[in-house]
Amino acid sequence: AQRVTQPEKLLSVFKGAPVELKCNYSYSGSPELFWYVQYSRQRLQLLLRHISRESIKGFTADLNKGETSFHLKKPFAQEEDSAMYYCALPFGGFKTIFGAGTRLFVKA
Amino acid sequence: EAGVAQSPRYKIIEKRQSVAFWCNPISGHATLYWYQQILGQGPKLLIQFQNNGVVDDSQLPKDRFSAERLKGVDSTLKIQPAKLEDSAVYLCASKAEGASTEAFFGQGTRLTVV
* Residue-averaged pLDDT of chain B: 92
- Cβ atoms < 10 Å from Cβ of A90: 23
- Burial class from Cβ neighbours inside 10 Å (0-12, 13-18, 19+) for residue B41 reads middle
Residue from the list A44, A86, A94 with its beta carbon closest to the beta carbon of B55: A94
pLDDT in tens, A4-45: 999 999 999 999 999 999 999 998 887 889 999 999 888 999
Q: What is the distance of C-alpha B1 from the center of its chain? A: 21
Identify the architecture of domain A3-107 in CATH. Sandwich (2.60)
Query: Looking at the predicted structure, is the pLDDT value of residue B99 above 70?
Result: no
Within 13 Å and on the Cβ side, how many CA atoms surround B33?
Answer: 26
pLDDT, residue B40, reads 80
Write out chain B residues lying below 8 Å of A43, CB-based. 3-4, 105-108
Taking the Cβ of residue B85 and every Cβ of chain A, the question of whether any pair is shorter than 8 Å is answered with no
B107 located within any domain: no
B102 located within any domain: no
- Cβ atoms < 10 Å from Cβ of A99: 26
The residue among B50 and B77 whose pLDDT is bigger is: B77
Show the domain range for B12.
Answer: 5-21+30-97
Averaged pLDDT for residues B51-65: 91
B26 — pLDDT class (breaks 50, 70, 90): very high
